[in-house]
Every structure is written in C-alpha cells, then in structure tokens.
Structure 1
C-alpha cells in the first residue's frame, strides 16, 4: 500500500529541533507502518535538510518553503505524478477540498486541535464543508471527536486514535536501568537529595506555568528541599523571552534557589529530565486535546498532577497514575497535591508504576501505528471492493 502524509509545513519532519504534536506524530507513526508499505511524507524545505531523502523506510519530499497555497499545489503535483492509495492531511482542514477535487484517492484528515477550523485559518471556507470533504477524519482523543461532532456536525466518519510515546526512549525510573540512569543524572544536575517537580511544555499562559510557580512559593515554605524545573520555551524550538516568560522569571525570583528554567531542550534529551524528576505537573487551563507530555511522564514512571480538562482525562486518572484537579480548583489544591506526593514516596511509586504499565499497553507509538494501519486497510479494501 502507498500512503502519503502531508505535514502542515510549520516545522521540519522528521523532528529536528522541536515541533508540535503534529510533527511528533508523523515522525513516530510513518516509520512504524508495515515494512512492505510505501510511505511518503511531504513537507516544506528547512535549512540543513535535503529536498529528498529516505529515513527509516520513509521517503521525505520537501517542497519550496513558500505560501500555503503554493505548498499545497506542489504537494498535489507530486501526488499526481506519483499516485498513492491514501493521502493523509495533518491538521489542515483547509487543504482537503482541493485535494479531493484534484486527486483520485481517498483523503484522510487527522485533527490535533480545532485551531485551524477558525475562519482566518480557513481563508473564508466553510469549516463544515472542509470536514465533509474528507473521506475519513482521525482525532487524537475522544474529547476532540466529541467537539467536532457537536460543533460542526460533520457527515464524515470520525474515529479517535490516541497519540503515543516511545516506551523505548522513555524508560521507567523504577526499572533497574532507569534507577541507574536516574542516579547518574541527578548527580550530574546537582539535584541529589532534592525532590524535583518537573514542568515540561511551552511557556504560554494556557499551560498554567504561573499557577505552578504560585504554588511553589507556598510549597517551599513547608518543604525547602523541593526544586521546580521548568523545561520549555515560548515556542517550539525557541527560547525567545516573551512578556509571559519574563513574568514567570520575575515570579520565581523570590524563591530563586527552588526554581530552574532549563529553556528549550532538544527532543532527544527530554527523557533525561523526566528520569531525574520525582513528579510531573502540567496545570493546563486551556482545552488540551490530549497532552503528549503526560504520556511521556507516564512512560518514565512519573506520577502526574494535571488538570481535569479535555483529553487529559483520557490519560490521567486520580488515584491510578496521578492526580487530576478541576481548573477552578488549581489555585486552591495544586500546592496540597504537590506536597502530598512529595511526602508519600510509596504512593508516588504506585502511581508511577501504574502510569508506565498504562503507557505500554495503550499509549505506545506502536499501538497507535497499528490502529492507523487497520484504518488504512479498511479504506483500501473498501475502495477495491467498489472497483
């Protein structure tokens, strides 16, 4: 079978210095599809990357980095010259009507958020018409599927398939290998004997980092051995200091020895930060469709404190692998939750071990790729049956 992915073009694929869940998903799923399939990923050109190359059995074709319409036209010309059995568009519903008009094969739309269904992103197109133009729609959570159906009432079949995590790269801190790595890293980072609270993610208001720092001011009064490590930048792959980032650093000054800003970290180094932590806090106040960082924390054997919102509720369960707090209660309950886990190592271990088992069983990239492959088989078989 011949499968083509059309990336949004915002960041390189495969991931180089950073990217959203979209580029992460393409990178991790494309190479895990059946070995005998012909898989192509179309994207834009970026410095240091060839116009065409093959990695991990996946062919990457990179178009000139121009406007979105020119990029889409280039993708269509390539796909007409080299036909594929199925074309999947990642998070760009505006692309679908023209692809359906000019390509003979089924078009699958994979939605990672509702951001690109806003009028400005659609360039005047009707969002429901864009959704209805697709043959199938994938969403990264049941929550996002319910939003699509309730807001836009699309007639296209919508199937939720959770994204995943590489359970080989992210090693449980409770395994023998994980314990050795953790001991070495905690010594190297100078955090031996401290309880490390990790925030991994973008430094933007909807991620709730300010709420975490407000809580840390209270936490360190009761436990001065706690350290909060903030990993991430204002944008994927960027350490640009926005007004919000400056606000966060100003907040942290009063407890400076207890907060470290690590900045943007290359994706390959993120497992190290999870390994040296004691718990992960992701206090999002936006409508998270899923939350990949929670899956990474789970795979690392870390208990997760997060918000009972959006697709996060499909991955984190209170008393099972973490603690969920209602958004309206974050200011009142986050401090207590951090102290509760930091003072109960047996509970943290149980939640962390459970998280690892859940990640292995339900949220590995291999599991995600198998679900994608089953859908592609169904689409392909159904099409062959009609011809």
Structure 2
C-alpha cells in the first residue's frame, strides 16, 4: 500500500532538531518501509533536501515555518498531485477535514501525542469532523486516550494506545561499552562531577517541565547528601539556546544552590545519550499533565533508575520496580524524599536501573512500535 505519514509543521524528520513526534516517526519508518510504500511529509529545514529517498522511504519537505496555516496550504497543494491508500496524520486533527476533502478514498489514521483536541486548539466542529473521518486514533498513552474519550465519547471505539520506543543500540547502560565509559569519564571530568552521584534532568527548560522545582529540591537534599550534583540538559526550545526569563530564573536558583548544578544549554539530539551515560539517577519533574515524556524510555534504556511525577501518562511507565513516583510534583521536598531513597541505597539504584533496561528491551524497542502501527494499517481492510 502507498502510505503517507504527515508530521507536524514544527520540526523536520529525521529529528535533526529534536522532537518527540519526529523521533517516533524516524524510529519506525524504515521498518514500515519494508512492507509498504512510505512517504514522510514534513517541514523543510536548511540541513535537509526538499525531496529525497533514504533506503525505502521517500521524504517530501514543504514550507511550514512553524505556522499551521502555511503548512496546511502546502499540504493541500501536495495532495492534489499525489494519491495514497492510507494517510497517517500526527498530532494535527485540524488537517483531517482538509485531507478528506482532497482524498475521499484514502483511509485516515490519526496519532495523538498530546492535547490537540483541547478547545483552545481546535473548534468543536472541526474536532467532531476529524473523529468522524478517521478510522483509528493512536495515542502514546492511555492518559491521552482517556482525555479524548472524555471530551468526545464517540471517539472511544477508535482509540488504540501504542507506547513509544527508544533506540536500544544508542541508549544503553554506560557499563556496556568502552566508548560509553570514556564519554562518561570525559563529561564528568569536564564538569567537575567526579566522585559525585549525578542527578540528571533532560528536557526543555520551561515552567511546565519543572526544572526549577528540582533545583529547589537540592536545598533539602544537600543536608543529607554531600557528594551529589545536578545536571540540567536542554534549552528553552528545540535547537534554541536563547536565555529566556525562565532559563535565567533557573540559572539564578542554580547559582545559589548548595549543590553543584550544571546547565548545559541545548544539546544536539545525536549527543543526548552521552548525558544519560554521565548520570546516575534520572528525574522527570513534570508539572503539567504530560502525555508521557519519551525521556523515560531513554532513561530506562540507559539503565538509569528514575523519579517521575503523577501527572498525565508518566506513571504508566512505572512497571516492576523501575522507578519512583512523586505524588506532589509542586513540592520540592517530595522530590528530595524520593531522591534520598535512591541516593542512600546504591543496590536499589542498580536493581531499578536493571529493571528499566530489561523493560526497554522487552517492550520499548522501535520494532515493536512499528509492528503495532503496521497492524493498525493492515486492520483497516
């Protein structure tokens, strides 16, 4: 079958500038390309050609400039010249009515990675039309599906959770390769982290991601542990190193922290795994109803125990003793308490990290994600 996978207008595929949706598509597309004629449609980028074939997959990149209306018009023009059996749209339900008008015979699938059915992002009329026209709505967590079903009960029978995945060759425990050992040692030496237990945050530095709460947790934690450091990996936006007001606030907190705090700024996607090798405990201090942050999969694959928040879908990846859950994410002391449990018990850290790695191997490989997406497509007949 001829299948189009339409990404969002924000960032290109492959994820040369990061992005969870872009990483998801890149993780599964080669496997899917062995079975179907795949075209990935996404936004342009100076680093990438407008039209290319990589292995079995064609990439067409149109002007998006991060603006939905511009991107939608480009998609409209493209679909007037192309025909597809299946069109799989990622996180843009507003595109569905437009696509249906242009492609009356195509089978439509929608993947939802966050709250794009919220009333502030789509009119009720557009949302109802989108749900009517698609045959399946794939979500990255049960939480995302439950929110959609609560808003639009008619969507319930079309919902299917397919958890994301991770590159198990790139993200692996640092003990498993000489290269990883060297990278770990180099980063820890460069940032004066030798001899310390390193607490790691990876994500955008925005209020809803909660880095400030984590920095404030160090005030209490430092009273119980002297050999710790905190590393904050990320910038204010994908591939941007601008110092926003919030970044400046976090850095001012870091400057006053009794614990050494390293702020790396933006790190390119192809280097992120280096920091997972350098860390000892991972923390996702999300303050918002997070769909399910993909950094959890990366932490598990890297063999790190993790602490996450009872927000959105994040708790769905705590399985079989691989992590700890903070039930009051707005309270720095709640993080301090969970981190204290781990920092006080190296054996618990090792057990949790090993459980996470095993879980990643068993459940979160990209091949599993690709097979489940393919099953959705094949089930449309």
Deviation at 1:191, TM superposition (A): 2.1
Cα offsets for 1:35-57 (capped at 9, x unmatched): 14211111122223211012242
CA contact (8 A) 1:128 1:153 kept: no
The aligned counterpart of 2:200 is: 198
The aligned counterpart of 1:356 is: 357
Greater shift, 121-130 or 200-209, is seen at: 121-130
Cα offsets for 1:128-187 (capped at 9, x unmatched): 332222221111111111111112213461111011111111012343555565445434
1:51 aligns to 2:46 (yes or no): no
Question: Cα RMSD (Å) of the superposition?
Answer: 2.1
Indicate the SS of the match to 1:30: helix
The aligned counterpart of 1:365 is: 366
Deviation at 1:76, TM superposition (A): 3.7
CA contact (8 A) 2:191 2:262 kept: no
Indicate the SS of the match to 2:222: helix
Partners of 1:59 and 1:41 in 2: CA distance: 6
Indicate the SS of the match to 1:223: coil
Partners of 1:26 and 1:328 in 2: CA distance: 30
The aligned counterpart of 1:210 is: 212
The aligned counterpart of 2:127 is: 127
Give the paired residue count.
377
CA contact (8 A) 1:197 1:279 kept: yes
Deviation at 1:256, TM superposition (A): 6.8
The aligned counterpart of 1:260 is: 262
Closer, same or farther: CA 340–119 of 1 in aligned 2, 3 Å: closer
Cα offsets for 1:333-375 (capped at 9, x unmatched): 2112212212211110000000001111111211111100111
The aligned counterpart of 2:111 is: 110
Partners of 1:241 and 1:181 in 2: CA distance: 27
Closer, same or farther: CA 53–256 of 1 in aligned 2, 3 Å: farther
Closer, same or farther: CA 240–147 of 1 in aligned 2, 3 Å: same
Partners of 2:340 and 2:26 in 1: CA distance: 37
| Displacement over 6 Å in runs of 4+ | none
Greater shift, 195-204 or 217-226, is seen at: 217-226
Indicate the SS of the match to 1:310: coil
Deviation at 1:287, TM superposition (A): 0.3
Partners of 1:154 and 1:124 in 2: CA distance: 13
1:17 aligns to 2:17 (yes or no): yes
Relative to total residues, which structure has the larger helix share, 1 or 2?
1
Deviation at 1:25, TM superposition (A): 1.2
The aligned counterpart of 1:385 is: none
Indicate the SS of the match to 2:300: helix
The aligned counterpart of 2:149 is: 149
Pairs within 5 Å for 1:1-387: 1-19=1-19, 21-65=20-64, 68-103=68-103, 104-114=105-115, 116-122=116-122, 125-155=125-155, 157-175=158-176, 177=178, 179=181, 182-183=184-185, 185-255=187-257, 258-317=260-319, 320-327=321-328, 330-379=331-380, 382=381
CA contact (8 A) 1:34 1:373 kept: no
Show structure 1 runs of 5+ residues with no match.
383-387
Deviation at 1:224, TM superposition (A): 2.3
CA contact (8 A) 2:33 2:57 kept: no
Greater shift, 275-284 or 176-185, is seen at: 176-185
Deviation at 1:198, TM superposition (A): 0.3
Partners of 1:376 and 1:349 in 2: CA distance: 40
